[in-house]
Structure 1
Amino acid sequence: MNKNSLLILAGLLLCIVFESMAQSKNKVIAHRGAWKNTGATENSIGALEHAIKLKCYGSEFDVHMSADSVLFVNHDHTIKGTDIEKTSAKELSEIKLSNGENLPTLEAYLKAGANQKKTRLILEIKTSRLGKERSMALATKCVALVKELKVGKITDYIAFDYDVCLKVKQLTPKAHVQYLNGDKTPAEIKAAGLDGIDYHLGVFKKHESYIREAKENGLVTNVWTVNSKADMQYFLDNKVDYITTNEPEALLEMTK
């Protein structure tokens, strides 16, 4: 290898290192997308696009299943008085969000996030109010659609239902899966083969050793939903891996 080739290779390696360092500083996951300060509706495709423009590490969103087994993105189990799980996809697709978008299907949402690699899609599988079997069916369909659309490399999974987390890991062992409910120790999460804990800020403050214990077990830590600058600073100081927030702009400024 000649001198010029070595210089080019060294330059490329430096670029990779600097990009990795810049990315590691970005701990920001936009909760339901970047909506609060952008005029977008939470969990809309517009909110996802704003999170991507901000270069957030990730954009979190919530998934339910219609009565006829079509997947939709929305936080609550109901929207405009309509129960998503008891309503057909045709009826749901006619619902307008406050920013003028149609209620997005998971397919449309994933496709909107598919043409980039910087912002991860943090897919929350919502616990069904119709029973465990339906929650597991939702998990199975989410994993299948992610695989079909070939977005697995940028998609992580989170869920409050422990069995759903285990199911996702069984279906797609290489996927990154984190548990949300806060009632399992890091050691229990490690033993189950999951990748991390994604707990409410109150859980981490009550169990101050969890961040350290998670790191000792090789687990990723994420905390939700952190909106005050004081809490952001607390978790930055305690070196949590990622912070989920409704204020991604403020947190991005703090992590520059």
Structure 2
Amino acid sequence: MKSSIVAITLMALFTKSFDPQPELINKGNSWNKNPVIAHRGAWKKNNLPENSIASLKEAIRLGCYGSEFDVHMTLDSVLVINHDADFYGLHIAQVTYKELLTKKHPNGENIPTLEEYLKEGIKQKKMKLILEIKPSKNDPERDQKLTDRAVAMVKKLKAKEWVDYISFSYDVLKRILVLDPKANVAYLNGDASLEKLKADGFYGADYHYSVYQKGEWFAKAKELNLTINAWTVNSAEDMKWLLKNKVEFITTNEPELAFETIRAVQSGN
């Protein structure tokens, strides 16, 4: 009996140690208390289409802290969810939304619009929605239009509490903070210091995990009250290293493995 109580207590303390910093979390909904962010939804294990409503629902079912998704804009300015710039051979920026509807995911889904995706995501109150804005290669005006429309849609649907923003474009993230100064934004490219992110009002760094293997990122982030997210982490070994450094978030194609690894670390393995 005593050993069971001790085990439960230790697990509770361990889980608490991996909670995102309390002062950095939006208030209101009761977000899942784990570091797991499903990259493009939870798609891999069950062979679901990436960035589909089905993979979003599976991430919700698994109890992930968040589900990441990528936003593009069509020729007629409809915001859609897809990782790549192409959707089954159609270049999203060069075709209309109606043209995109001529193609379907293998499970029969249409490409989701941002509006459809958010409406599905905010039906629940446990999992965050990690909205990545995909910038163009050399069209800042288009990037701003995409950004403005994305933030406007989040506001329209009253989804602000659910949504955090990420991007490889520093300018896109700064634009988001102009539109919504209270938004959580994190930079993906790995070339900005934590001090710069803090000075510009960012929520944290969201860099490839290899970036954090050089330097004192974790201690400095906590000192600056910033979060650390690592992408895209698909091996148990790398997950364990990040967990032992008390990383706030792990973005992965293998959320099931991430949960297994968390349990293994909790049990001392």
- The two structures have a TM-score, normalised by structure 2, of 0.85
RMSD, matched Cα: 1.7
**Structure 2 CA distance for aligned equivalents of residues 101 and 22 of structure 1:** 39
Deviation per CA, 1:54-111: give whole Å up to 9, x if none.
0100000000000010000000011222110011011112320122111111111111
Deviation per CA, 1:187-206: give whole Å up to 9, x if none.
0100111110000112112x
**Structure 2 CA distance for aligned equivalents of residues 116 and 101 of structure 1:** 21
**Structure 2 CA distance for aligned equivalents of residues 200 and 23 of structure 1:** 19
**Would you say the 8 A contact 1:35–1:47 is kept in 2?**
yes
Instruction: State the match for 1:66 in structure 2.
Output: 74
Residues 144-155 of structure 1 aligned to structure 2 (within 5 Å): 144-155=152-163
Aligned residues: 238
Deviation at 1:130? Answer: 5.1
Residues 69-108 of structure 1 aligned to structure 2 (within 5 Å): 69-108=77-116
Gaps spanning 5+ residues in structure 1: where? 1-16
- The two structures have a TM-score, normalised by structure 1, of 0.89
Identity %: 51
**Structure 2 CA distance for aligned equivalents of residues 22 and 29 of structure 1:** 17
Deviation at 1:242? Answer: 0.3
Any runs of at least 4 consecutive aligned residues in structure 1 with deviations exceeding 3 A, and if so which?
20-23
Instruction: State the match for 1:6 in structure 2.
Output: none
Deviation at 1:253? Answer: 2.0
**Structure 1 CA distance for aligned equivalents of residues 124 and 43 of structure 2:** 19
**Structure 1 CA distance for aligned equivalents of residues 116 and 209 of structure 2:** 31
Deviates more, 1:124-133 or 1:170-179: 124-133
**Would you say the 8 A contact 1:64–1:138 is kept in 2?**
yes
**Would you say the 8 A contact 1:39–1:99 is kept in 2?**
no
Does 2:220 correspond to 1:216?
A: no
Instruction: State the match for 2:40 in structure 1.
Output: 32
| Residues 23 and 209 of structure 1, relative CA distance in 2, 3 Å threshold | closer
Deviation per CA, 1:204-255: give whole Å up to 9, x if none.
12x3312221111110110000000000001001111000000001111222
Instruction: State the match for 1:172 in structure 2.
Output: 180
Does 2:167 correspond to 1:159?
A: yes
**Structure 1 CA distance for aligned equivalents of residues 261 and 156 of structure 2:** 37
Deviation per CA, 1:106-144: give whole Å up to 9, x if none.
111111111111110000000113511111111111000
**Structure 1 CA distance for aligned equivalents of residues 158 and 203 of structure 2:** 21
**Would you say the 8 A contact 2:18–2:246 is kept in 1?**
no
Residue type of the partner of 1:210? W
**Structure 1 CA distance for aligned equivalents of residues 112 and 209 of structure 2:** 29
Residue type of the partner of 1:92? L
Q: 1:122 aligns with which of 95, 115, 130?
A: 130
**Structure 1 CA distance for aligned equivalents of residues 232 and 47 of structure 2:** 20
Instruction: State the match for 2:203 in structure 1.
Output: 195
Gaps spanning 5+ residues in structure 2: where? 1-11, 20-32, 264-269
Deviates more, 1:196-205 or 1:41-50: 196-205
**Would you say the 8 A contact 1:38–1:50 is kept in 2?**
no
Deviation at 1:21? Answer: 4.2
**Would you say the 8 A contact 1:29–1:245 is kept in 2?**
yes
**Structure 1 CA distance for aligned equivalents of residues 201 and 157 of structure 2:** 25
Instruction: State the match for 1:47 in structure 2.
Output: 55
**Would you say the 8 A contact 1:26–1:57 is kept in 2?**
yes
Residue type of the partner of 1:211? F
